[in-house]
Structure 1
Amino acid sequence: MKEKITIIIPSHERHHLLLRAIDYYSELDFLVLIVDSSEVFLNVKLPGNITYLHLPGSLYGDKIYSALCKASTPYSCLCADDDFLAENGLKSGQEFLEENLDYVSVQGHYIQFDPSIPKEKNNPLYLNMIGYKNDSDLINDRALDALTVPHIYALHRTIILKNAIHITLDITNVTVVELSIPLVTMCYGKHTVLPVFWSARDIVRYSKYLDEN
């Protein structure tokens, strides 16, 4: 699968979360690019499937674009540094995009977990996404519908995601960058949500000011 999908993890001043992510993604059969705008370099030994790019002070969209310029796989998926993508979900997404050329992105279902209570039942997230499709043949309709369900963390065709991120270069507002992704990608094709487990999201809302304790 390494020749098919690249996972891109943007991060900023959250090295404690990157260590956790590295441990998890080292076991998956995907290439991973970490783009870190932190002031300090993350000096750790990395597994063979993970590459770390230190871009201190880089803007959100700019550092993602830098990673996409290095991605050689046909598909790419953004992932927050405190989320955990499911290997089987990504594989299902890849198969769907290979079979449906009019679609540019795909994702599945999310759950939320509390790391302090590992045995606690996980809660489903984004229930409005279940069964969602943005599959109109009209670009205007797809663009208007693009903001109803977030799909920044969907699996995309790399070239399409790269085109979307390119227009966000030098934009300082993270929210504007995130909203631009579905608006642009839906100009190229369709999006759907598959009935598969896609990602686990940490219930804790970390900030760059949170220390490792």
Structure 2
Amino acid sequence: MAVTLFAPDEFDVSHAGVGYLVPNMQIKILKDDGQMAGYDEEGEALIRGPNAFKGYYRNPEASREILEGGWLKTGDIVTMDKGGLLKIVDRKKELIKVKGFQVAPCEIEGVLLEHEHVIDCAVVRVIRDGREHPRAFIVRSDNKITGTDIMEFLEARLSAHKKPTGGIVFVDAIPKSPSGKILRRMLQEPASREIAHL
């Protein structure tokens, strides 16, 4: 199902957009409080149109979970600028709720990858003391780099609620699907919940 596209003259590698709505598709972007998001505000994308998913075959209960008044709840957290360009921020189910804020793992990952010794990384949600915290799994190029070094690097680059207070775990590789998608569930499994380097 195509929802967005770029015309050949619209594509620009300098931005991270996924395109503009295809003809006959509609979108609404809802914030956590159910209100419509404004331009450049984050919210979940709900879509409808002739090529949108209409429901599960012989499973009305599952259909009701993802359809709302004819709108398909995509689970994608997006923004849209005044020109109509859509950008995907993250998946709703991957957001981490920290002190009332929604934290997108990919934002933390983007900052971590700016560190010269971080080759790859993934951020997942962990529960500590009944609260959600971001935990960073990092592949480093220099084994002398410590969790303290990483936290010092993040000090001026991330707000307090976005820092990996769930710990930093150094790993040899980040588990990914054949298409390159991070397999976050594998990092959240009990075997991966080793003592984090703080």
TM over 0.5: same fold? no
Query: Greater share of helix residues, 1 or 2?
Result: 1
TM-score (norm 2): 0.30
Query: Greater share of strand residues, 1 or 2?
Result: 2
Structure with more relative contact order (C-alpha pairs < 8 Å, separation 6 or more) = 1
